[in-house]
Amino acid sequence: MRMLSSSLLYLRNAFVIITMLMIVACCAYFWSLYQGVENLRHEAERRLSIVSATMLTPTDKYSYLPAVIAEYPTISLTLLLKYDADIILKGNQFLQKLKSETGLAVIYLLDEQGMTIASSNWQEKDTFVGHNYSFRPYFQDAIKHGEGQFYAMGTISRVPGYYLSQAVRSDGVLLGVLVIKVNMDNLDSLDRVHVRKQSEVAVTDENDIIFLSTIDDWKFRPFTALDEKAKQKVKSTRQYEGVLKPPLQITVEKKLSANESIVSITNSIESSAADGKDMESYLVRFAPFSGSSWMVRVFLPMEPVKQAAARMAVLSAVMLLLLLLALMYLMEIRSRVRDRERSRMALQQAHQALEQKHAELEKLSEDLRVVSITDALTGAYNRRYFIDTVVKSLEATSKSGGALSIIMIDMDYFKRINDVFGHPVGDKVLQLLTTLCMQDLRVDDVFARFGGEEFIMALPGTDEVIASQVAERLRKRVMAHVFEVNGQVINLTISCGISRYRLGEKGIDEVIKRADDALYQAKSNGRNQVVVQI
């Protein structure tokens, strides 16, 4: 009878312990899963911001180029005399030179019927010359509205790109359309900021078709099945001719917010055979690109989170089991276990304190780095960072034989503003000028406060002609800006000096000096103007 009672007690205790282990394991699993998902959400938001800041849309970087190129007399002359072989040759050579200087994929000229009459690739085997592109939306929009944009697969080159177009007119008469193509078939900029590490990126067009992705198998797949209208549009414009694939097989497991979900994606036969997985689960966050109909999505795999949650569940159950065993053992050697527990807690606290100190040092180091390269008042880069960065760009320019221009910018009558309205107002003027200067900066451009009310801008891959156009647009923007102080409007103007790097120069000092001399000349000539000194 005693043996039976003892066995029943043993079974009851074992049942209680197993039940406790299962409860703790389940709680640990779901708690760890929740924390992991929350961490993924923050990480997805961070990486999405990095992608948006790194991958500027072509309209942000190149929107001004078609209009600028279309104004060249050579363009209109080529269209007007499109049957003159000598004129066409000059037009081809002119576009070929522009393509080399701007780094674009191709520049070409269409007549009013959409026929290509001149192109920067006129000497290549797959030249655009002689091909009609009237079916492309960028041509139709330029004819109707004066300009257009369109992403598509090249019908000849088979290379995807973003097309920007501009109508060419003479005395109000439409002559044709100027088109530039920007290649968009790589994500090197994402790799440089480590976005792809343990994450995937996909960019979709207005029809939700992926045209850029870190996973090759995802490219040119719709996120959802296309309706008949979208199918007809894609077919008529030959946007993805020969490369469009079936839609991704996506199942939404859980919707976290308006722009976040946990999804399962079934891999295609080819990709599943390569990685051994038929389906993968991701946390996906998406946002539109500003100023475009594109959508960017960042995918973070859920598998590591689930594995971590499973490990946490097992670890929690094991820890609880060990704790129960320790409690039993505590009845015999309570004092020894108490001392060991105190040592363990002290070590854990010391480790946590060390980790916290390390995190604080890392943050302090990053803060110091940012402070060392930026101007505290305006947020622009400082003079030292500008010199260090431009010296590196100068080395690349010298090797490639390209162009690099410097723009010196100075606020006119700044001392009078400080004297009349006070230094706080002067500070706001400098901050405003910084904001206006940074609006049109490209990824490789460098802008800094050079000293006082003087600012400096370096434009790699840009000659003095384009640089003077950039400076002139900035001058007009500043002059048109309404700056009001206590009900009184202050008229702001700037003067700009421009110089270009001469091949063979050993450093940047002479280029900056020439730009400064040009700025001084602009000041001497009456201010509110742009002066170029090559």
Residue 491: what are its φ and ψ, rounded to 5°?
-80, 115
Half-sphere exposure of 108 (CA within 13 A, CB side): 25
The answer to whether the beta carbons of residues 187 and 196 sit under 8 Å apart is: yes
Cβ atoms 285, 259 nearer than 8 A: yes
Query: What distance in Å separates the CA atoms of residue 19 and residue 25, rounded to the nearest whole number?
Result: 10
Q: Indicate the burial class of 125 (C-beta count within 10 angstroms; 0-12, 13-18, 19 or more).
A: exposed
Task: Provide the strand spans (E) within 352-444.
Answer: 404-411
Distance of CA 442 to the CA centre of its chain: 11
Nearest to 435 by CA among 512, 378, 476: 378
**Distance (Å) of CA 74 to CA 38, 92, 335, 403, 413:** 58, 10, 95, 21, 40
Q: 285 with 260: CB under 8 angstroms?
A: yes
Token match 């409690």: residue? 327
Tokens encoding 83: 């049957």
Q: Are 117 and 89 in contact (CB under 8 A)?
A: no
Distance (Å, rounded) from C-alpha 212 to C-alpha 220? 8
Residue 340 phi/psi, 5° resolution? Answer: -65, -35
Report the amino acid identity of residue 356. Q
CA gap 449, 496 in Å, rounded: 14
Looking at residue 453, the DSSP 8-state letter turns out to be T
Q: Which of 27, 39, 237 is nearest to 135 (CA)?
A: 237
Residue 428 sits at φ, ψ, to 5 deg, of -65, -35
Token representation of residue 513: 């000096």
Q: What are phi and psi of 295, to 5 degrees?
A: -130, 135
Q: Which long-range contacts (CB under 8 A, 24 or more apart) does 430-438 make?
A: 430/377, 430/378, 431/377, 431/378, 431/379, 432/481, 432/483, 432/492, 433/378, 433/409, 433/478, 433/492, 433/494, 434/378, 434/379, 434/380, 436/474, 436/477, 436/478, 436/481, 437/380, 437/409, 437/474, 438/380
The dihedral sign for the CA sequence 155, 159, 160, 165: negative
E strand map for 274-381: 279-288, 295-301
Residue 527 DSSP class: S
For residues 181 and 106, the answer to whether their CB atoms sit within 8 Å is yes
Residue position matching structure tokens 């960042």:
298
Of the candidates 260, 453, 454, 484, the residue annotated as catalytic is 453
Residue 453 annotated among the catalytic residues of the structure = yes
Instruction: List, by residue number, the catalytic residues.
Output: 453
